[in-house]
Chains A and B, each alone.
Chain A
Amino acid sequence: MSGQEKVVSRRKFLGAVGGLAAATVVGWGLAGYYAAQPPREVVRTVTQTQTVTQTVTQTVGVTTTPPTTTATLPPLSKFVDIEWGIWSWGVELCNDNARIFNENNTDMKLHVTDLGANYMANLFARYAAGDPPDIYYATPDIAYVVQYRKWAADIEDYFPEARRYLDDIYPGMREFYINPFTGKVHGLCYWAGPYVFAYNKRHLSEAGIGAPPKNYEEVAEQARIIKQKGICEYPIGALWSWGFPALWYNIMLGYHEPKPGTRFLFDEDLNPIFDDRGTPFFEAIKWLLERVVVDKTISPGIREYDESGITTALGSGTVTFCPNLPDYDIAGANVPELKESGNITMCLNPGTGYAVYHPTNYSTSTRCMEKGRDNQIAVWRVMQFLGGKTTNARPDFERGEYFVCNRLIRQYGVTSAYRPVMEDPTNKEVLRKLKIDPDLLLAQYEKLTTILWRDPVLTPWWADWFSSPSSEAGGRVKPKFEEFLTGARSYSDADILNFLKEIAEDWKRAKKEAGM
């Protein structure tokens, strides 16, 4: 072996090459970061946001019925295949609905694609790949992103008669079905229902309490009595996981009646307005923390309640009150297997009576609409079958029925945004059988507000900040708030204020990163 060969050993050679590669990558990255700062596309300016909000308010306030247009759709000139993206709930029912539709619409085909439990990520991945489903479910945070990115089309742009459906939607829910950027109806209702104030009437009766609480002070007082009498250790629970934002809004609404222009968290320019003493959010946090720390009527374990957890807790008598239960879960808390079956009911949200709701809609992709008139007609037929009025699975606004919406409520107690569906005597009877008092529920429907989704508008980072209503993961506010529950923060006014300032900063940072 030569001397030169000894110096450049394999190990040294590999080390040198590795180091050089690493240095190249880092240099490349740094150069890219500093030299190639691309222009950031600022899509929505503050001025635009204001305009958009005003447009929506005006649109909703002024008229819901569009100029009369004939609802008769022309026949399709070619066979069209429409893909319907669903999440993994009621898959059999969806397939059956598709079957009924196909039997009555032989000139086209509707097929179902289950996008799985990780629905939002899968849907967006399909969009990113340029192959979104033609029609799909959208929760508010999904609807906002697809509208913001112009991935979704407004159905009203293609079929102005879609606006007529607004008349059937409860006033408090209408605003959600309007695209905040365009003021147009973006889709029809899949399901929608209020987050109701649920309680255990047996617990109240055993505690000698004659009526459910009329305001949040009474909630606190009744919870104290129930605890003192040993009926329930932690009488107040809540849907924490995906109901986290709704919990705060329902408490805030208990104290403050929503009026046109009411804002709880952000102003028109999306600047935080909650990070001060005495704001509705401050008071809501204080109310909840006093129940945790002072009264001990809320367990620090409240954070463990997901939807099935809080439903079972209510049904088993482990909690007495839940201020933000999805309405259909009252049926789940009253199933015969649970100890408190028949005892779980609801009342209007204490205080002002107003509550927030969880809506979903059918969205249609811009890509579908760009395929041509036949696809537009076909998808509108589908949308009306799934979320509108039909006769024999063909659009019939004047005489048809909300076929699929009725099926949902009759089979599963899944409620709707449409008044004709909710007030249908058969459906009311179904709700009664599920131990949901339809009269109480309808009273809450009359006192709903969209403020949870329009305060003043959602933003792309809203769910990442507050926590997603369609996912268990994510959110900056929730883990920071949990520091109160773990004792890492005290419940003093100063600490609450610090918390609010911190999350306000998080919000501002996210807003800046989004170029707004």
Chain B
Amino acid sequence: MVSKTATLFICLIPALTPLFLFGFYPLTYAFYLSFTFYNLKTPIEPYFYGLGNYFALSEDPVFIRALQATGLFALITVPLITLISLGQALLLASQFKGVKYLQVLALLPWGIPLVVSSTVYRLFFDFNFGLFNDLMVKLGVINQYVSWLSMPWSALFIVALAHIWVNTPLPTLLILAGIQSIPKELYEAAYIDGAKTFARFKMVTWNWLRPIMLIVLVYSSLSALWCFDPIYVITAGGPADFTKLITFYTYEKMFSYLNFGHAGAITILILGLTGLLIYAYFRALRLGRVRLRV
């Protein structure tokens, strides 16, 4: 028995080593930092600071603004990612000529590095040379180039667009797999019972997909919470901090302000928020156990 356990642990070492090194250790260190005064720009040596970093954050208007921006960003991106993925999956599940090519196209953004796709968006909306301005002028929508990335709401939407573009393929794939696993008999039974298209979608497809949709919600919420690259590349948090999401704020605290204590505290707060979100969604998942009512 002992040797079996030992063998089990030995076999797990390759999997657990990176998990500990790059997962648990940094997290534990961040936890330690969050209770430490640790600012590399001051000559003050690190010391135990209790909840000082957390108190300091609660008084920092930029932190509050970053939280608000993150919430707003999630409010925009989560429903859109969910709806677009559902729409795409329904389309790709249909049988028509060329659907295979569409499936490849739908997955393409997933294969492009975030920095690259973000740079494309930045250039696309550039206020001097951006293609978007050119198109809008040619279509007569605007009569002169507009600095879209310098207006708070348009900047936020552009960042959201870049984020959505990259984060839609995975949920699409999940939902598509879900749709393809629906037994045909359910549709046939619904058809025999006289259910129209919308009723069939509501009673069969939607009910079957509900657990998957909740996973998509978890995924899209967490990706909104962790979104960094588009902000870094496209807006750098501006204009006027309007697109400064919590991740970018953490980055600033860590790598620009070199305030490791604050950065550690924010990391722990994000971790807590992530945990809460996952808990809430999984609770919802349990309550919403699939009950097909055909």
Residues of A near any B CB (own CB < 8 A): 26, 28-34, 36, 38, 40-41, 43, 118, 120-121, 124-125, 127-128, 145, 148-150, 233, 241, 299-304, 309, 312-313, 316, 318, 460-461, 463-464, 468, 471-474, 476, 478-480, 482-483, 485-486, 488, 514-515
Which of B92-100, B181-189, B251-259 makes up part of the contact surface?
A: B251-259
Contact, CB under 8 Å: B42 / A479: no
Contacts of B241 in A (CB 8 A): 479, 482
Contact, CB under 8 Å: A150 / B258: no
Contacts of A36 in B (CB 8 A): 48, 50
Contact, CB under 8 Å: B43 / A299: no
Interface residues on B, range: 35 or more
Contact, CB under 8 Å: A304 / B149: yes
Contact, CB under 8 Å: A482 / B128: no
B193 at the interface (CB under 8 A from A): no
B208 at the interface (CB under 8 A from A): no
B178 at the interface (CB under 8 A from A): no
Contact, CB under 8 Å: B255 / A118: yes
B52 at the interface (CB under 8 A from A): yes
Once A300-B150, A301-B127 are accepted as A-B contacts, the answer to whether A515 and B44 lie under 8 Å apart by CB is yes
Contact, CB under 8 Å: B238 / A121: no
Can you report 21 A-B residue pairs in the complex whose CB atoms are below 8 A from each other? A29-B50, A32-B35, A33-B49, A40-B44, A43-B43, A121-B255, A127-B40, A233-B144, A241-B236, A299-B127, A299-B150, A301-B147, A303-B238, A464-B257, A473-B252, A473-B256, A479-B241, A485-B150, A485-B239, A486-B239, A515-B44
Contacts of A118 in B (CB 8 A): 255
Partner of B149, one of A120, A301, A312, A316: A301
Partner of A150, one of B42, B43, B126: B43
What's the minimum C-beta distance from A60 to chain B, rounded to whole angstroms?
Answer: 25
Partner of A304, one of B126, B244, B255: B126
Contacts of B254 in A (CB 8 A): 121
In chain B, residues 100-130, which have Cβ atoms closer than 8 Å to a Cβ of chain A? 126-129
What's the minimum C-beta distance from A502 to chain B, rounded to whole angstroms?
Answer: 10
In chain B, residues 31-57, which have Cβ atoms closer than 8 Å to a Cβ of chain A? 35, 37, 40-45, 47-52, 54-55
Contact, CB under 8 Å: A300 / B147: yes
Partner of B239, one of A29, A121, A303: A303
Interface centre among A29, A34, A38 (most CB of B within 10 A): A29
Once A33-B49, A41-B44 are accepted as A-B contacts, the answer to whether A124 and B258 lie under 8 Å apart by CB is yes
Contacts of A485 in B (CB 8 A): 150, 239-240
Interface centre among B48, B149, B248, B255 (most CB of A within 10 A): B255
Once A33-B50, A33-B52, A301-B149 are accepted as A-B contacts, the answer to whether A473 and B237 lie under 8 Å apart by CB is yes
State in angstroms the CA–CA spacing of A47 and B87 once bound together. 68
The 6 closest A-B pairs by CB, nearest first: A301-B147, A33-B50, A32-B50, A474-B256, A29-B51, A482-B240
What's the minimum C-beta distance from A39 to chain B, rounded to whole angstroms?
Answer: 9
Contact, CB under 8 Å: A30 / B50: yes
Instruction: Specify the chain A residue showing the minimal Cβ separation from B151.
Output: A486
Contact, CB under 8 Å: B44 / A460: no
Contacts of A318 in B (CB 8 A): 128-129
Contacts of B52 in A (CB 8 A): 33
State in angstroms the CA–CA spacing of A303 and B241 once bound together. 12
Contacts of B127 in A (CB 8 A): 299, 301, 304
State in angstroms the CA–CA spacing of A105 and B140 once bound together. 67
Contact, CB under 8 Å: A32 / B41: no
Majority secondary structure, A binding face: helix
Instruction: Specify the chain A residue showing the minimal Cβ separation from B47.
Output: A38
What's the minimum C-beta distance from A87 to chain B, rounded to whole angstroms?
Answer: 14
Contacts of A29 in B (CB 8 A): 35, 50-51, 54
State in angstroms the CA–CA spacing of A32 and B49 once bound together. 6
What's the minimum C-beta distance from A135 to chain B, rounded to whole angstroms?
Answer: 20
B73 at the interface (CB under 8 A from A): no
Contacts of B256 in A (CB 8 A): 120-121, 463-464, 468, 471, 473-474
Contact, CB under 8 Å: B257 / A299: no
State in angstroms the CA–CA spacing of A463 and B52 once bound together. 23
State in angstroms the CA–CA spacing of A149 and B41 once bound together. 8
What's the minimum C-beta distance from B245 to chain A, rounded to whole angstroms?
Answer: 13
Contacts of A480 in B (CB 8 A): 240
State in angstroms the CA–CA spacing of A482 and B128 once bound together. 19
What's the minimum C-beta distance from A155 to chain B, rounded to whole angstroms?
Answer: 21
Contacts of A233 in B (CB 8 A): 144-145
State in angstroms the CA–CA spacing of A41 and B46 once bound together. 11
Contacts of A478 in B (CB 8 A): 238
State in angstroms the CA–CA spacing of A289 and B252 once bound together. 28
Contact, CB under 8 Å: B240 / A488: yes
State in angstroms the CA–CA spacing of A316 and B62 once bound together. 37
What's the minimum C-beta distance from A146 to chain B, rounded to whole angstroms?
Answer: 10
Once A29-B35, A304-B147 are accepted as A-B contacts, the answer to whether A474 and B257 lie under 8 Å apart by CB is yes
State in angstroms the CA–CA spacing of A36 and B37 once bound together. 12
Contacts of B43 in A (CB 8 A): 41, 43, 148-150
Contact, CB under 8 Å: A145 / B129: no
State in angstroms the CA–CA spacing of A121 and B126 once bound together. 29
Contacts of B55 in A (CB 8 A): 33
Contact, CB under 8 Å: B50 / A514: no
Instruction: Specify the chain B residue showing the minimal Cβ separation from A34.
Output: B50
